[in-house]
């Protein structure tokens, strides 16, 4: 008997069983890699991604000339836990500079890489590159900043990955023009409404702040110290469904300077702290995007003029469209508007194609279509 393989996402307990040789599984290769991260969990995830890179490198590089290569590749990496079918931890511990390392031996399924690549590419062919709008309100010593360090770092990370990114300054400029409100920076609802008009799938918002915390001497140098925190949340733009929430609490940093109050030191501290938070946000975005491709996301259909009876009958019709793609439908009726929340492995546009044909065309008229949301009226209502 020997230590067995542990399924990704399984219990941390050790399981003892007979381990089959890798050669017995067609299309599966065994690799040994070491991952690194700021936590034990991130080190393991990095190791799984490295296993995918090493075990499936030839398959991935064969697609290097396709459009949106980097976005597809990073989406495939984000699904490493499903593609790296089995693994076991050989060693883990402290790494350099306060990091953690994790060494694993893993089995990589090459056919799963090909299948996943095809799924992601098909989605991109249908909906194009996903759009993301970002608006992060940043304060240093209580003063709102014209631009956000965190926002800029996250923008750059997502742009490099191949997303279409709309910056907070763009949203603010449009919001101010529409409302004439010089203090519109704090109006998250207004920003989200504008992000929806851009047709983005994801809206990222949050706050970050840094406040003076005195001057310390570090290695013979005067350093202006700052304390701070940050909170970032990600939503489906159309449905306002919360996708992820990341925070960085009670961090401390600074930059050389003799003055206790130093906006430059505050920005430098934010920049240093942002490296960890931005990477966590990026991984959350990629994980949610990858999950939506494989398991289906939430679509919202709103129909004005439906009563409770209409809604219940319509729900059954929606569930009957495609059993493989419509996973679940929930409905509610408030003030003459029926809201259907649909777990589906399809886009809103694909669903709308069904709703403008056959018996659906005799029941509703579609009046607005967004990435994750359809608005309609009862026929003759």
Q: What is the block-wise mean pLDDT of the chain (381 residues), using blocks of 10 residues?
A: 42 33 61 87 87 86 81 82 84 85 90 81 68 86 85 86 75 58 53 71 85 79 82 80 79 69 78 77 75 66 94 93 84 91 82 92 91 86 64
Instruction: Say what the pLDDT of residue 305 is.
Output: 94
Instruction: Say what the pLDDT of residue 26 is.
Output: 63
| 256/266 Cα distance (integer angstroms) | 11
Instruction: Say what the pLDDT of residue 110 is.
Output: 83
User: First CA to last CA across the chain, in angstroms?
Assistant: 70
Instruction: Say what the pLDDT of residue 172 is.
Output: 66
Instruction: Say what the pLDDT of residue 34 is.
Output: 93
Q: Would you say the pTM of this structure is higher than 0.75?
A: no
Instruction: Say what the pLDDT of residue 223 is.
Output: 79
Instruction: Say what the pLDDT of residue 17 is.
Output: 33
Q: Give the side-chain half-sphere CA count within 13 A for 95.
A: 17
| 128/164 Cα distance (integer angstroms) | 10
User: Which residues, at least 6 apart from 198, have a Cβ–Cβ distance to it below 8 Å?
Assistant: 131, 133, 166
Q: Which domains does the chain have, with CATH numbers?
A: 2-127 (3.30.1660.10), 131-295 (3.40.50), 297-378 (3.30.1360)
């Amino acid at each position: 008997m020997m230590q067995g393989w542990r399924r990704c996402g399984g219990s941390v307990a050790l399981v003892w069983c007979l381990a089959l040789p890798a050669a017995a599984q067609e299309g599966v290769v065994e690799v040994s890699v070491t991952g690194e991260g700021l936590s034990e969990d991130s080190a393991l995830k990095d190791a799984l991604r490295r296993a995918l890179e090493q075990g499936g490198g030839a398959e991935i590089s064969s697609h290097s000339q396709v459009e949106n290569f980097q976005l597809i590749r990073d989406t495939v990496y984000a699904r490493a836990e499903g593609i790296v079918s089995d693994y076991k931890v050989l060693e883990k511990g402290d790494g350099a500079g306060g990091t953690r390392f994790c060494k694993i031996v893993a089995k990589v399924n090459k056919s799963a890489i090909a299948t996943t690549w095809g799924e992601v590419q098909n989605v991109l062919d249908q909906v194009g590159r996903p759009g993301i709008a970002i608006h992060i309100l940043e304060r240093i010593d209580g003063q709102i900043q014209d631009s956000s360090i965190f926002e800029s770092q996250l923008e750059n990370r997502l742009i490099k990955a191949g997303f279409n990114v709309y910056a907070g300054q763009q949203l603010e400029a449009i919001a101010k023009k529409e409302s004439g409100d010089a203090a519109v920076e704090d109006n998250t609802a207004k920003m989200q409404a504008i992000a929806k008009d851009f047709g983005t799938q994801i809206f990222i918002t949050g706050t970050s702040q840094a406040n003076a915390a005195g001057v310390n001497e570090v290695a013979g140098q005067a350093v202006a110290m700052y304390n701070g925190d940050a909170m970032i949340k990600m939503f489906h733009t159309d449905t306002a469904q919360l996708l992820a929430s990341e925070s960085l609490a009670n961090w401390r940093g600074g930059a050389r300077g003799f003055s206790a109050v130093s906006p430059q030191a505050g920005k430098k501290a934010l920049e240093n702290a942002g490296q960890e938070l931005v990477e966590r946000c990026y991984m959350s975005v990629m994980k949610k995007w990858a999950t939506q491709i494989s398991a289906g996301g939430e679509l919202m259909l709103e129909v004005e003029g439906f009563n409770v009876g209409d809604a219940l009958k319509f729900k059954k019709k929606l569930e009957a469209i495609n059993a493989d793609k419509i996973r679940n439908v929930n409905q509610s009726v408030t003030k003459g508007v029926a809201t259907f929340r649909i777990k589906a492995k399809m886009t809103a546009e694909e669903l709308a194609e069904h709703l403008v044909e056959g018996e659906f065309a005799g029941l509703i008229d579609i009046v607005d279509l967004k990435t994750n949301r359809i608005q309609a009226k009862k026929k003759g209502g």
